[in-house]
Chains A and B, each alone.
Chain A
């Protein structure tokens, strides 16, 4: 395997990391919420997409929106339960509750979808694109394009729209936002629904690359955590850069050193970064979402 192919793989993987993390970036920036159920929500998104395609015969292009709708509903439902703790910023309770939700989702999914591995096969993942010695699937290309589109879209939403301004107001100071007439509760529901839809979208896009299992989710939540913290909490641009950097790092470390120690090495790098720049890559801007 040549180095260029590894860089290409790293780029695809990096965009996938960034896409999986985007919902949490917003959630953390706006509502200061960590969602340890994030990985299981990813798993659920993958299985709903798989179920819609394989069992219900829905075309893939429609299966992904269905998974997103389920994800948004699940996110809003979780926020309903945690609303009081969110307003009180009771972070320990929220961590435990999201962790609990993760296990519940896992259990429910195992019950419904079984515990055997499945393959989410899409027309795109069967299409290969070769460029000289380099090789990716059309699905990989779609991941990169979709990630860039989602990040640009989110930036535009935050900077250029009224909704985005409300979100930034709540992110900076929910109490002051109330005094400006903002229904903070609704914004909290909105960002958690976005988190659910975004991770389901990511699952629908990324899951076709690997076999899917109802027990998966741990890797996704850990990698997301790394990306979100690496990028600087609440930073949309930061988490994109961090995701791509992590993808490249993982691919190159795996190829040049050893794939077995990649996660450990990534965390070493994260710890070093946090020592040098406690606010992550985009340190400087204080709090909020940007």
Chain B
């Protein structure tokens, strides 16, 4: 997790950035309210054993915006969202600059980034199987209270996903794929995300559930949350995203409003054509 810390700021255009604190803030820290993108990524690189898996020049994510990240298997989509948190089940070498709400966080350990409001709903295992729904929906730590940051309560999560309330005494291991996805999102919301990253939330879900989960994201975004959505199911993603980013071999090759990018042959042929009518079935 050693990141390039020698360059302070790196020439920001929108006024001087607060200098990166040498140590992560404690629980009581507050952040300066910030104009501009919630999440600002520059020159982000991740490599496994010397092979560059991700080389991203720039990516911004604004409040209330849903950005979709699409690309083939192994293109580096998961590597991207994981690198933003300095998190991985493997161990890539990371370099680059990540700012959350104007504060550089790229040298912080994962749990500090989470407490600061960068939340990831990972692919694969995303709930604690040996804990029930209610325990899964308990905060590990009280995040700092800041203006404009909403910490969802357990009841608010239940309002969003009534199914979880019905299942609240069930263990994580007993939940269906869709319920796990809801629980993963619910857990993230309870930490009061400023930016929410989701890695393939539709994988293995029935089409109806996919729509439900994606629509929920849309609702959350309209309440001001910034969302970065990694999705294989480009057709479904197109319905909810504002912007679309195409990643190939770790590089961003296309970026723009969903409608415009959707008409680009690189997306239309490779993803929409190929996946037409090919929704995954449970």
Contact = CB atoms under 8 A, between A and B. Distances in A.
B111 A178 contact: yes
A164 to B, nearest CB: 11
A182 B130 contact: no
> DSSP class of B's interface residues: helix, strand, loop or mixed?
loop
Contact of B135 (A165, A175, A285, A286): A165
Contact of B125 (A166, A176, A184, A285): A176
A240 B191 CA distance: 37
A173 B125 contact: yes
20 contacts: A162-B138, A162-B140, A165-B140, A168-B128, A169-B131, A172-B131, A176-B122, A176-B125, A176-B126, A176-B127, A176-B128, A178-B87, A179-B87, A179-B110, A179-B114, A181-B115, A181-B191, A182-B111, A182-B140, A288-B130
B87 A181 contact: no
Chain A, interface residues (CB within 8 Å), range: 20 to 34
Contacts, number: 64
Contact of B141 (A88, A179, A181, A285): A181
A177 interface: yes
B141 A182 contact: yes
A165 B143 CA distance: 17
B109 interface: yes
> DSSP class of A's interface residues: helix, strand, loop or mixed?
helix
Contact of A184 (B111, B119, B128, B143): B111
Interface string B104-135: 00000111001100011010011111110001
Given A169-B131, A183-B109, 12 more contacts: A168-B130, A173-B125, A176-B126, A176-B128, A178-B87, A178-B109, A178-B111, A179-B114, A179-B119, A181-B111, A181-B143, A182-B111
B226 to A, nearest CB: 17
Interface string B135-159: 1001111010000000000000000
A185 to B, nearest CB: 8
Question: Of A165, A178, A179, which is in contact with the most chain B CB atoms at under 10 Å from its CB?
Answer: A179
